[in-house]
Amino acid sequence: MTLKQKRIFLDKIFSYFCRITTYASILILFLLLFHIVKAGASWLDWQLITSFPSRHASKAGIKSGLFGSLYLVAVTIIFSVPIGIGTAIYLQEYAKKNKITQLIKLNISNLAGMPSIIYGLIGLAIFVRFLGFDRSLLAGGLTLALLILPVIIIASQEALAAVPRSLRDAAYALGARQWQVVIFQVLPAALPGIMTGIILAVSRSIGETAPLIIIGALSYAAFIPNGVMDSFTALPIQIYNWASRPQQEFQELAAGGILVLLILLFVLNGIAVFIRQRYQRFS
Amino acid sequence: MAVTLLTTVTVIAMLAKESFVFFSEVSIVDFLMGTEWHPLLVPQSFGVLPLVFGTMTIVIGSVLIALPCGLMVAVYLSEYTSAKGRKFLKPSLEILAGIPTIVYGYFALTFITPIIKSIYPDAEVFNGLSGSIVVAVMILPMISSLCDDAFRSVPSHLKQGAFAVGANTFEVVSQILIPASKTRIGAAVILAVSRAIGETMAVTLAAGATPKMGLQFLESIQTMTAYIVQVSLGDTPQGGIEYQSSFAVGALLFLMTLVMNLIGHQLVFKKGKYDS
Amino acid sequence: MFIEIKNLDIFYGQKKAVKNINLKVKKGLVTAMIGPSGCGKSTLLRSLNRMNDFIPGARVEGEVNFLGKNIYGKNIDPVELRSKIGMVFQKPNPFPKSIYNNIIWGPKINGYEGDFDELVEEALKGAALWDEVKDRLHESAFALSGGQQQRLCIARAVAMKPEVILMDEPCSALDPKSTLRVEKLINDLKGKFSVIIVTHNMQQAARVSDETCFMYEGELIEHDKTETIFTKPAHKKTEDYITGRFG
């Protein structure tokens, strides 16, 4: 081979490799979905959703897990969203750009990278034991709220930072005070971005399993929690429980549960994408 | 804002406190240097190295797979595909990144493991390879997205300069693009490693619960995270030594990821020599 | 005196962007500021309603007296100042709201108690935009063309009934036809408001202004009647600039 041929050959091979790898990783996504649908589709029916878990796979369902997860999301949102947006507004609009602000931002990005299992340990030590919330919905929700707080703060900050300078200038030039500019102009303009961030963070919390196991969510519960101090189970825990059993039926049941979980996540992500496209005004 | 600072302070204080109780019974040297981990058997032994090796098996295995693949995906995204292709590929990779880890665990156990067993009949049901592969799939979107960002931030005049002297895409990528973004590629690897260290459910389901020294890909192993889950699922008494040991392992895990994240973020924001 | 600037220096960090300006601006006139890019004219303009407070590292020394009071003195509320000295920016920057709500936003937050419909009509007529938009007041301001958006921004400033309207190269993002309409509008505003306009376009300054300031490298070189500046400037630099020898 001449040098020229060799160069052309390498270039070609390389481009094929890149293409194949990329499509292979997308293929894995479809393979994963296909595999789960194949195993779980026949279990995905009304009975799965309306029944409590059972020792008999044919009678088992995810009712307690599904309700547990939905209640958890509510508790998580109540605690994380106001604090998250508030912190982002403070950091982006009010805080002076000094060393301390820098440190806080670094701290937040580190918290965002902290493994979720560590949040479980904090939840266990602080909410479950120190504050005496026991293994309740409240303890679970607070733990997940801590977990997604940094994600919400970072997303909200980015959304606020993306609001153009000119909008603030326009408002200030009309004699607006800073809180008026922030509340009436900047926040509404940033809201689509903030909402997208919140939805993505919440959908992350729905799939979280490890922290809930650590704080001691029940792996078997045949009831729906009555209040925030009640004990609970959650959808991913139910899935884990079934997936770790050796019997074929329970494995398939786990796939059915995963399907419900994935449908929930796809709906949430669909909403996020819709908001992003519908309200993308500054780009 | 105060909450975030408080969180960090609490994490450190709480991990320190519980670990302190633990280290009053088990010497820190025995913990860090010990090669036997069987906390649930008498006599108990708390040498964390087997768990660290378990975690390292997953980290090394997954990064070995995900780094070259992630780089090639990033090259394809930034250099080869059209704007239209990007529009399809980027969200698909994001979906891959957004799938809960428990789902990956299930996938590993019921899909990847049988394939491995058909190739290596001696492999155990729970094995390090299956865990590594599935963690590789999980961290690949992160590596490719960070590297794609890095490639796209290389000034176009650099690339055009090379194309103008007759270089082809492979030469531009390997000799201009990758060297120019090596800091940020490094950052991507470090952040991915940190993610792999902290990964829990997939490895708990797929890799097993048998602490072992050395890097074992075809046998059951146990990672640090999987141990913490095991303790939580068992009926270990609160305040017992097993309970405290999970905090000690958690503290080690926290320190490892903290250092990785700090370095990673430093590198991401560090100005490369081509930045203006 | 209406606006009187005394020994004004403006710094960006260590860099002195505006050097020792002394200038008196008369009420009811259109005053133009010209000069090559980077000469400090926009910086000077932004200092007149303290919009430069938002630029990190910007620092002001000296006095800007507005109606006899130093706006950099103690007990001055920059927010209240800005409700009296409005501003129009280089690029049209309407709020992501309807045309109607764009106009009333400023008066509303400042506690205006009159009739909003009347205010909107008056402001839009004042900005020569009423006839074009009167049937779609509740449509998004982003549906307007660039030139219309800029006139909406002027209407928005007019609705506050300010003493002064500052304009920072208001036509730089517009096509020639829209530019002409805005220039005509500036002529209409004369007498009702005082206008200070920064422009890089000398012909524009000649067309719209009563008085012109020529700035060069942060210094005010010359300030006179526009006619005088363009026919017999006192300084060699001014002459060189307006005859196109540099800039």
Domains and CATH numbers, chain B: 53-154+183-269 (1.10.3720.10)
Which residue of chain C comes nearest to A94, CA vs CA? Answer: C54
Q: What does the pLDDT read at residue B276?
A: 40
Does C175 reside within a domain? Answer: yes
CATH number of the domain where residue C217 is located: 3.40.50.300
Give Cβ neighbours of residue A53 (< 8 Å, ≥ 6 apart): A60, A61, A62, A64, A65, A220, A221, A222, A238, A241
Does C102 reside within a domain? Answer: yes
Does C15 reside within a domain? Answer: no
Does C59 reside within a domain? Answer: no
pLDDT in tens, A212-268: 998 888 777 777 888 878 888 899 999 998 888 888 888 889 999 999 999 999 998
Distances (CA, A) of A15 to A20, A22, A55, B76, B78: 9, 11, 53, 7, 12
Give me the mean pLDDT over the C9-38 stretch.
Answer: 92
Query: What is the Cβ-side half-sphere exposure of residue C127, based on CA atoms within 13 angstroms?
Result: 30
CB–CB of A115 and B103 under 8 A?
A: no
CB–CB of B257 and A111 under 8 A?
A: no
| Closest by Cβ to A22, choosing from B11, B73, B250 | B73
Q: B-chain residues within 8 Å CB-CB of A90?
A: 1
The Cα B207–Cα B57 span in angstroms is 10
Confidence of residue B87 (pLDDT cuts 50, 70, 90): confident
**All structural domains of chain A with their residue ranges:** 3-42, 48-278
Cβ(A173)–Cβ(C82) below 8 Å: yes
ipTM of the prediction: 0.87
Give me the mean pLDDT over the A204-217 stretch.
Answer: 89
Tell the burial category of B157 from Cβ atoms under 10 Å away from its Cβ (0-12, 13-18, 19+): exposed
Least confident window among A220-234, B104-118, C149-163: A220-234
**For residue C165, what are the β-bridge partners?**
C86, C195
Least confident window among B12-21, C46-55, C148-157, C159-168: B12-21
Q: What does the pLDDT read at residue A281?
A: 52
Q: What does the pLDDT read at residue B33?
A: 79
CB–CB of A175 and C79 under 8 A?
A: yes
pLDDT in tens, C93-151: 999 889 999 999 999 988 888 899 999 999 998 888 999 999 999 999 999 999 999 99
Chain Cα centroid distance, residue C13: 25
- The continuous run of DSSP H or E covering C10 comes out as strand C3-12
| Closest by Cβ to B100, choosing from A213, A219, A236 | A236
Which residue numbers of C have CB closer than 8 Å to A's CBs? 49, 51, 54, 56, 79-84, 86-89, 91, 93-96, 105-106, 109-110, 142, 153, 156-157, 160
pTM: 0.84
Nearest to A40 by CA among B107, B224, C55, B120: B107
Q: What does the pLDDT read at residue B271?
A: 55
Does C48 reside within a domain? Answer: no
Give Cβ neighbours of residue A279 (< 8 Å, ≥ 6 apart): A191, A192
Q: What does the pLDDT read at residue B219?
A: 86
- Give the number of domains in chain C: 1
What is the residue-averaged pLDDT of chain B?
86
Using the predicted structure, report yes or no on whether residue B42 has a pLDDT greater than 90. no
Which residue of chain C comes nearest to A180, CA vs CA? Answer: C109
Which residue of chain B comes nearest to A86, CA vs CA? Answer: B1
Where is pLDDT greater, at A186 or A46?
A: A186
Q: Which amino acid is at B107?
A: F
Using the predicted structure, report yes or no on whether residue B273 has a pLDDT greater than 60. no
Does C220 reside within a domain? Answer: yes
Q: What does the pLDDT read at residue B238?
A: 64
The Cα A201–Cα A68 span in angstroms is 18
pLDDT in tens, B190-240: 999 999 999 988 888 888 888 888 788 888 889 999 988 888 887 666 667
Chain C and chain A touch, per 3+ beta carbon pairs within 8 A: yes
Least confident window among B4-13, B264-273, C54-63: B264-273
Query: What is the Cβ-side half-sphere exposure of residue C149, based on CA atoms within 13 angstroms?
Result: 21
Using the predicted structure, report yes or no on whether residue C173 has a pLDDT greater than 90. no
Using the predicted structure, report yes or no on whether residue B97 has a pLDDT greater than 50. yes
Give me the mean pLDDT over the A20-29 stretch.
Answer: 93
pLDDT in tens, B150-203: 998 888 888 888 888 888 888 889 888 999 888 889 999 999 999 999 998 888
CB–CB of A175 and C153 under 8 A?
A: no
Phi, psi of C165 (to 5 degrees): -120, 120
> Which residue carries 């909107």 as its tokens?
C120
Which residue of chain B comes nearest to A203, CA vs CA? Answer: B98
Domain of residue C220 covers 26-42+78-242
Where is pLDDT greater, at C199 or A54?
A: C199
Q: What does the pLDDT read at residue A282?
A: 44
Chain C and chain B touch, per 3+ beta carbon pairs within 8 A: no
Fold designation for A48-278: MetI-like fold (1.10.3720)
Q: What percentage of chain C has pLDDT greater than the value 70?
A: 100
Distance from CA of B64 to the nearest CA of A (A): 14
Q: B-chain residues within 8 Å CB-CB of A19?
A: 76, 80
Using the predicted structure, report yes or no on whether residue A283 has a pLDDT greater than 70. no
Q: What does the pLDDT read at residue B236?
A: 60
